[in-house]
Amino acid sequence: MNNPIPYVLVTGATGFIGAHVVDELLRRGIKVKGTTRSLSKAQKMCQDRPEHADMLDFDVITDLAHPGVFDEAAQGVDAIIHVASPVTYNITDNERELLLPAIQGTKAILTAAKKHPTVKRIVITSSFAAVLDPAHLDDSNFTFTSKDWSPFTYEQAKSSDPVIGYRGAKKFAERAAWDCIQNETPHFDLVTICPPMVFGPVVHPVSKVSELNESTKTIWEVVSGADPLPVGRVTAWVDVRDVAFAHVEALLRPEAGNQRFLIASPEKFSYQLAADILRKEFSWAREVVTRGDEGAPMPEKANVDGEAVAKALGIQYRGFKDCVIETATQLRELHRREISS
Ligand code: NAP
């Protein structure tokens, strides 16, 4: 049987999650066009995947906030996975650096898809940030589901700290997508995926630990001996390879259309747990990784329902221990190469 989705556009394809999505598509024999702002990162992605030379190419784009930024890239593809969005808290202007690029980038991908009748589905990487209500965050009897939405207004997101700015950016970007589906009934459908903290090995071009994405940077803090250990705002997490798998299943399963999926491992995590695992597993870690409150119970936080998506998309969640060990080992090797070059 012919693959109904043979050619996919992936935005943010040289980022942490985007590169895993690219690999998951390539593994299944699906041709990929990635977008990136960096020609050198595009070249590195291709060099690192010589076996897929005829299945992977890139369009270099400008900023997400530029009107029409994806119009050309969406030409000829059968579907889109829109991963790109700013993920940083090191900013001075929430609206300019988080809200506008996130929302305008989502609107730009929808506009591009509307111009290209070949596009059948858009899968968008939203976030648990678009779901969580801080009023329930520390209530261990509460379970967030994909029906929940962050309560922040645009004004609050604009004028609060960057964490709230990021939550607002993800909420209002995702809302813009659902509004388009509801109000304009375009020729394609939509799936959104809302992950909490995403961890796992890095497969995108990174040559220094300072270039790591935000969530991996926090694992590096643990690995490199940050004292005190970082403190998580949530205990929900998911392995990046499960996130990529979910994106591709969401793309390929017809029945997934127009659904919003919250994805989270059934296991909870803390940076203390990561430290405990590493210190138990490795002699170097006993020297370097902060002991903290070894063996401390998991902080009391709300639950996140990741089972509905696991059933709908056939996900078998990876475990935190293997994820941390693999990531820590890779990051130490990255740092070793960085300081010896
Ligand atoms: P990342 O490595 O920083 O990737 C972000 C991607 O977005 C990069 O590819 C980047 O493009 C692109 N991008 C950011 N700002 C842009 C702008 N102004 N114009 C054009 N492109 C821009 O982070 P990530 O963790 O993979 O995040 C990917 C997606 O997952 C985001 O939508 C994020 O909100 C979501 N998410 C992440 C986590 C997590 O824990 N990591 C959790 C939930 C949701 P370049 O490669 O060209 O720089």
Residue 330: predicted pLDDT: 98
How far away, in angstroms, is 81 Cα from ligand 1 center? 12
Instruction: Please tell me the pTM assigned to this model.
Output: 0.98
Ligand 1 in contact with 106 (CB < 6 A)? no
Q: Which of 293, 254, 251, 242 is nearest to 271 (CA)?
A: 293
Q: Is 234 in the pocket of ligand 1 (CB under 6 A)?
A: no
| Separation between Cα atoms, residue 116 and residue 176, nearest integer Å | 19
Question: Using a 6 Å cutoff on CB, does residue 16 contact ligand 1?
Answer: yes
Q: Which of 11, 59, 61, 85 to mutate to test the pocket of ligand 1 (most atoms within 8 A of CB)?
A: 85
Q: Is the CA virtual torsion 11, 16, 17, 19 positive or negative?
A: positive
Mutate to test the pocket of ligand 1, among 17, 66, 94, 212 (most ligand atoms within 8 A of CB): 17
The CB of 265 under 6 Å from ligand 1? The reply is no
> Please, what is the Cα angle at 48 between 44 and 52, to 5 degrees?
110
Q: Is 198 in the pocket of ligand 1 (CB under 6 A)?
A: yes
How many domains, the chain? 1
The amino acid that residue 139 corresponds to is: D
Q: Could you give the count of Cα atoms lying within 13 Å of 217 in the half-sphere of its Cβ?
A: 10
Query: CA 233 → CA 39, 300, 309, distances in Å?
Result: 35, 11, 23
Please tell me the predicted confidence (pLDDT) of residue 326: 98
- Distance between CA 18 and CA 11 in Å, rounded? 7
Q: Is 218 in the pocket of ligand 1 (CB under 6 A)?
A: no
pLDDT tens track for 89-114: 999 999 999 999 999 999 999 999 99
34 Cβ closer than 6 Å to some ligand 1 atom:
no
Q: CB of 45 closer than 6 A to ligand 1? A: no
Mutation to probe ligand 1, out of 9, 37, 44, 87 (largest number of atoms < 8 A from CB): 87
Which segments of the chain are extended strands (E)? 7-11, 31-36, 56-60, 79-82, 121-125, 143-144, 189-194, 197-199, 237-239, 259-262, 303-304
Below-70 pLDDT ranges, the chain = 1-2
Per-residue model confidence (pLDDT) at position 4: 85
Residue 68 — left, alpha, or beta (φ > 0 → left; ψ -120 to 50 → alpha)?
Answer: left
Atom 31 of ligand 1, nearest CA residue: 85
Is 228 within a domain? Answer: no
Residue 213 lies in a domain: no
DSSP for residue 95: I
- Tell which residue, 219, 16, 254, has the closest CA to residue 121: 254
For residue 15, give the DSSP letter: S
Q: How far is the CA of 88 from the centre of ligand 1 (A)?
A: 9
Task: Please check whether residue 212 lies inside any domain of the structure.
Answer: no
The answer, yes or no, to whether any atom of ligand 1 lies below 6 A from the CB of 37, is yes
User: Is residue 18 lining ligand 1, measured as CB closer than 6 Å?
Assistant: yes
Q: Which burial class, exposed, middle or buried, applies to 172 when counting CB atoms under 10 A from its CB (0-12, 13-18, 19+)?
A: buried
The answer to whether residue 334 sits within a structural domain is: no
Residue 337, in any domain of the structure: no
Terminal alpha carbon distance of the chain? 49
Cα-to-centroid distance, 87 and ligand 1 (Å): 5
Q: Which atom of ligand 1 is least distant from the CA of 129?
A: 43
Residue 180 falls within a domain, yes or no? yes
Residue with tokens 């909870």: 268
Q: Is 9 a pocket residue for ligand 1 (Cβ < 6 Å)?
A: no
Q: Is 263's C-beta closer than 6 angstroms to any atom of ligand 1?
A: no
Alpha helices by DSSP H, listed for 28-161, are 39-47, 94, 100-115, 154-159
Q: In whole angstroms, give the CA distance from residue 3 to residue 13.
A: 22
| Tokens of residue 59, six digits | 């369009």
Residues 6+ apart with CB under 8 A from 267: 237, 317, 319, 320
Distance CA 171, CA 87 (A): 13
CATH code of the domain containing 106: 3.40.50.720
| Closest C-alpha among 195, 205, 251 to residue 81 | 251
Residue 3: per-residue pLDDT = 78
User: Quick check: 123 and 82 in contact, CB under 8 A?
Assistant: yes
Q: Specify if 225 maps to a domain.
A: no
Which residue segment(s) compose the domain that 166 sits in?
A: 7-202+236-266+304-310
Q: What whole-number distance in Å separates Cα of residue 158 and Cα of residue 136?
A: 22
CA 115 / ligand 1 centre spacing (Å): 24
Question: How far does Cα 14 stand from its chain's mean position?
Answer: 12
59 in any annotated domain: yes
